[in-house]
A and B are shown apart, each in its own frame.
Chain A
Amino acid sequence: MARITLQNLKHAYMANPQQEQDWALKEFDLEWDDGGAYALLGPSGCGKTTLLNIISGLLKPSNGKVLFDGEDVTALPPEQRKIAQVFQFPVVYDTMTVYDNLAFPLRNRGVDEATVDKRVREVAAMNDLTATLNNRASGLTADGKQKISLGRGLVRTDVNAILFDEPLTVIDPHLKFQLRSKLKELHHRVPNTMIYVTHDQTEALTFADKVVVMNVGEVVQVGTPEELFEEPHHTFVGHFIGSPGMNVLKCDISDGQAHLGGRKIATANKAGPASGLTEIGVRPEYVSFAAKGLEARIIKASDAGRFSIVEVECAGGRAKLLINEGEPVPSGTAHLSFDPKATRIYQDGWLAGRERRP
Chain B
Amino acid sequence: MNKTVNQKAWFFVLPVLILVAFNAIVPLMTVVNYSVQETFGDNVFFWAGLRWFEEILRSPRFHDALGRQLFFTFTILAIEVPLGVIIALAMPRKGPWVSVCLVLMAMPLLIPWNVVGAMWNIFGLPELGLLGKTLNSIGFDYNYTRQPGDAWFTLILMDVWHWTSLVVLLAYAGLVSIPDAYYQAAKIDGASSWAIFRYIQLPKMKRVLTIAVLLRFMDSFNIYTEPSVLTGGGPGNSTTLLSIDLVKIALGQFDLGPAAAMSLIYFLVILLVSWVFYTVMTRGEEN
Q: Using a CB–CB distance below 8 Å, which chain A residues touch chain B?
A: 53, 56, 58, 77-79, 83-85, 87-89, 91, 93-96, 104-105, 108-109, 136, 149, 152
Contact = CB atoms under 8 A, between A and B. Distances in A.
Interface string B162-204: 0000000000000000010110110111111001000110011
B191 A104 contact: yes
Contact of A108 (B179, B181, B182, B191): B191
A108 B192 contact: yes
Given A91-B181, A91-B182, A152 B199 contact: no
A357 B141 CA distance: 80
Q: Of residues A77, A79, A152, which shows the largest number of chain B Cβ atoms within 10 Å of its Cβ?
A: A79
A85 B184 contact: yes
A56 B179 contact: no
Given A88-B181, A94-B203, A95-B203, A77 B195 contact: no
A89 B178 CA distance: 12
Contacts, number: 53
B188 A95 contact: no
A149 B184 CA distance: 12
Interface of B is mostly: helix
Contacts of A95: 199, 203
B193 to A, nearest CB: 12
The A contact surface, by secondary structure, is mixed
Given A93-B200, A95-B199, A78 B179 contact: no
B184 A87 contact: yes
Enumerate the 5 nearest inter-chain pairs by beta-carbon distance, A residue then B residue, closest first.
A91-B185, A108-B190, A105-B189, A87-B181, A79-B190
6 contacts: A56-B188, A78-B184, A85-B188, A87-B185, A104-B189, A105-B190
Contacts of A149: 185
Contacts of B189: 79, 104-105, 108, 152
Contacts of A109: 190
A319 B189 CA distance: 50
A156 B191 CA distance: 14
A53 B184 CA distance: 10
Nearest to A94: B203
B190 A93 contact: no
Nearest to B184: A58
